[in-house]
Amino acid sequence: MIELILGGARSGKSRLAERLAAESGLPVTYIATSQAHDGEMSARIRQHRERRPLEWGLIEEPLALARVLAENAAEDKCLLVDCLTLWLTNLLMLDEPARLAAEREALLAGIEQLPGRIILVSNETGLGVVPLGELTRRYVDEAGWLHQALAERCQRVIFSVAGLPMILKGVPL
């Protein structure tokens, strides 16, 4: 089963994903895409680490997400990816359009063939005003296109607001 959990900042999407992973009854591997470029991000990463169960595995991968998913997915495992928009940001900051396209296509081409349970977390950025800068507009566009493509491939899509999950596609929680 592949699930996509979308929501804004502090919407409860990561906590929901972690709850669903814990309730799956499967061994969980957390795939973190963030990078600690400053103290504030280091603090966020530390908070995420502290609330995760100690028995969960951890893979930190900022770029090659499709490869890591393919290498670690198994019928008897749950992989939790947090988060796709940080992964997208990492690729955009490389300023290598070919790499972004290749990584995105690898993810979309392989996601439906992965065994086991896959939970993807991402920030919904398309609900606000259009950003002024070229890079931020590109980020919003790329995130929106990625979410649409993944939502087509996922069995369940959830939108989280104020800690409340709304099922957009698939079976209820």
Per-residue model confidence as pLDDT tens digits over 22-40: 999 999 999 999 887 778 8
Outline where the chain has alpha helix (H). Answer: 13-23, 39-51, 65-72, 84-94, 97-110, 134-153
Domain span at residue 59 reads 2-169
Query: 8, 12, 22, 48: which one is catalytic?
Result: 48
| Sign of the dihedral through C-alpha 42, 45, 47, 52 | negative
| CATH number of the domain enclosing 104 | 3.40.50.300
117-157 per-position pLDDT tens digit: 999 999 999 887 778 899 999 999 999 999 999 999 999 99
* Distance between CA atoms of residues 6 and 83, nearest Å: 10
- What's the domain count of the chain? 1
What is the pLDDT averaged over residues 147-173?
97
The amino acid sitting at 84 is L
75/103 Cα distance (integer angstroms): 24
Dihedral sign for Cα 48, 50, 56, 60, please. Answer: positive
What's the CA gap between 81 and 59, in Å, rounded? 9
Residues 51-91 have pLDDT tens digits of 889 999 999 999 999 999 999 999 999 999 999 999 999 99
48 catalytic per annotation? yes
d(CA 36, CA 39): 7
